[in-house]
Structure 1
Amino acid sequence: MSQQLPDVQASRPDVTVGLNRVGVTGVEKLVRIERPDSDPIVLMAEFEVFVDLPSWRKGADMSRNMEVIDETLEAAVSERAYRVEDVCGDAAERLLEKHEYTTRAEVRMEAEYVTHERTPASDRKTQSTADIIASATADGDGTREEVGARVTGMTVCPCSQGMSTTRARETLRDLGVEDRVIDQFLKEVPQPGHSQRGHATLTVESDGSPDVDLHGIIEVARESMSARIYNLAKRPDEDHMTYESHRDAKFVEDCVRAMAEGVVDRFDLPADAVVTMKQSNDESIHQHNAHAERVAEFGDLTGEVNGDGA
């Protein structure tokens, strides 16, 4: 006769302190996203799954919990889904139902997504990648879902460029060039500045099912930097990217503000939808990196972009 093993996880802990998040990370699953007029998108996604733990319970039954999580994710990814955030929302709601001791469940997903483009000058077919970010939190008040993306681009420092412009102006004056010609030249030929590889992250979180187009999010994030970059680049494309980035030099703060403007111009979101915008630049002439971010409700962001109350 087999002996029943004790359920240590359900016992009372020595220190009765509740925990906000207990779960697993690094769970990989294939996710199939349907599209009405095209082939489905298949993603290799990595999930993080958490529940809260009350103070009176020692553990979250990690081995059995993993079985529940695996079953929950399998069920969620097997359902017909048209949005990645709905996969997370379905999984979070299922977890909340299956855990009698928890009041909150979180599911987060990231996956690499490929978009098809054409190079800006040579007009060649190429691909670009973006990291899709999706998450959901389910509790007694309902489910909030988040969707967004993290993309890579190029930025140029306006301060560094300004110093180069001053040097060019002084040199041209010393050579006897008229100020009118100097102004015209500097307008047509942006001067050098130190460049950075930029990483823009843009997400939208809300209740219900707002109309948030993932491709639109990716486009807003990519357009927020000085220039887009491409996996394939012939020499005319390299010249195009270099010129465009120096023609639109931006601080890390400018990139976040450009994202804010792009979100307001492109999307019609509920006023209480939370928009998160982050920009991180890998500096080329410093050992540190630059970072800026803003988290705001869409209604407040719209007011600021439109200058209400400024």
Structure 2
Amino acid sequence: MNAPERLFLPDIQSQHDPRNMPINAVGIKGVRYPVVLAAAEAQMPTVATFSMTVGLAASAKGTHMSRFIELLEVQAAPLDLPRFTSLLLQMLERLDAASGTIEMRFPYFVRKTAPVSGVQSLLDLDACWRVSRARDGKMSTWMQVVVAATSLCPCSKEISAYGAHNQRSHITIEAELAAAMTIEELVAIAEQSASCEVYGLLKRPDEKYVTERAYDNPKFVEDLVRDVAIALERDLRVTNYAVEVENFESIHNHSAFARIERQDT
């Protein structure tokens, strides 16, 4: 069978656009792709959702969308934050762009050890990496985690003859990084600020421990968000941040919520 005849196909995207209107970000989003992470213990396969965009000059009609997927196809090495940053630079080179952003959201698993029995289990959380380069060449690196924890109400403990109501909390930390930081380190900041950590697997002695630990360490949603923010303020690797805490109340049909952010210009 003969090879098909080569045809000339015009490159519409590369044509000149007369409207003189630059585009801040154009690309693809919602792309699910398998990746391997260079995790703390070992390589971790996962499925990530990518958003990949570049800035488009006013004179260019369009960008080449297929090149984003091509970049993911040739990426083979396990990803850590430095390699993820390198992926951004490769994207900008492929698309001949001065600015752009790659965001990758993915499930991540940390290995937890129960506090008394010592049994181990995996606990899942949501994580995100986002790297950007502005037109002036300035780079920014953001990491986000959503961590489950326990909070116990100080008011309930104070006014009740026995017991106190508690709830599961979601602590969302989004941190701009000036130096290397692992997902586990950001997770530890969230967990250490809560009334108690949560675990994938607990035995009865562990249940006793976490119940009493939370009771001895009550936190309002305001306490929790402030303690996380203070820990981030003390970490010189973190330049800007946003912290959100949502307590899924056990005695109300609504959540309690708090947010603190620092955005230095």
TM range (shorter): 0.7 to 0.9
Could you tell me which of 110, 127, 144 is aligned with 2:140? 144
| Larger helix proportion of the pair | 1
Question: Are residue 161 (structure 1) and residue 157 (structure 2) matched?
Answer: yes
The residue matched to 1:117 in structure 2 has which SS?
strand
**Does the 8 Å contact 2:150/2:167 carry over to 1?**
yes
Displacement after TM superposition at 1:294 (Å): 2.0
Gaps of 5+ in 1: 169-190, 299-310
Could you tell me which of 236, 240, 247 is aligned with 1:274? 240
**Does the 8 Å contact 2:13/2:60 carry over to 1?**
no
**Does the 8 Å contact 1:25/1:47 carry over to 2?**
yes
- The equivalent of 2:49 in structure 1 is 46
Gaps of 5+ in 2: none
- The 1:59/1:289 distance shift into structure 2, 3 A limit, reads farther
CA distance in 2: counterparts of 1:29 and 1:222, whole angstroms = 29
Deviations 1:100-124 (A, max 9, x none): 4x54211111222222222223332
Q: Where do 1:1-310 residues align within 5 Å?
A: 4=9, 7=12, 12=17, 18-34=22-38, 39-54=42-57, 59-60=62-63, 64-65=64-65, 67-75=66-74, 77-79=75-77, 81=79, 83=80, 85-100=81-96, 102-139=97-134, 140-164=136-160, 168=161, 191-207=162-178, 210-264=179-233, 267-269=235-237, 273-296=239-262
CA distance in 2: counterparts of 1:95 and 1:247, whole angstroms = 51
| Larger strand proportion of the pair | 2
The size of the alignment, in residue pairs, is: 258
**Does the 8 Å contact 1:21/1:51 carry over to 2?**
yes
The residue matched to 2:194 in structure 1 has which SS?
coil
- State the identity as a percent: 24
**Does the 8 Å contact 1:88/1:108 carry over to 2?**
no
- The 1:241/1:57 distance shift into structure 2, 3 A limit, reads same
Q: Which amino acid aligns with 1:73?
A: L
Deviations 1:121-147 (A, max 9, x none): 333222212222211002332321122
CA distance in 1: counterparts of 2:17 and 2:158, whole angstroms = 64
TM-score (norm 2): 0.81
**Does the 8 Å contact 2:67/2:95 carry over to 1?**
no
TM-score (norm 1): 0.71
CA distance in 1: counterparts of 2:253 and 2:17, whole angstroms = 49
The residue matched to 2:91 in structure 1 has which SS?
helix
